[in-house]
Amino acid sequence: MKKFIIGASLLAVLASCSMSMPGIATQNPVGTKEGIAERKIFLGIAFGHTDLSLVTAAKNGGITKIATVDYEIQGGLFSKTYRVVVTGE
């Protein structure tokens, strides 16, 4: 049982919510540009509308060819941040 718990714990630590490797979204080369679309939510209430699409993140970074995509969620005590990060040329 102890080996199972250690193995499950190791698997949980190695699992990741975001992954970034060249060519993960497309075969385009990873460039130097980065675009971000972000949304913050306070106390579980979302005010207004924020576009978290890949197109918006690419426009924010001046990217025409997306190479990689990362989705990030950061939680706090009273707020949560959702972020889409794209890289490319």
Distance between CA 58 and CA 66 in Å, rounded?
7
Longest dimension (CA), the chain: 52
pLDDT of 5 over the 90 cut: no
- pLDDT tens for each residue of 8-26: 665 555 554 444 444 455 6
Q: Is 12 in a helix, a strand, or coil?
A: helix
- pLDDT tens for each residue of 23-81: 455 667 777 899 999 999 988 888 788 888 889 999 999 999 888 888 888 888 888 98
Per-residue buried b or exposed e for 48-81, using 16+ beta carbons within 10 Å of the residue's own CB: eeeeeebebbbeebebeebbbbbeeeeeeeeebe
What's the length of the chain? 89
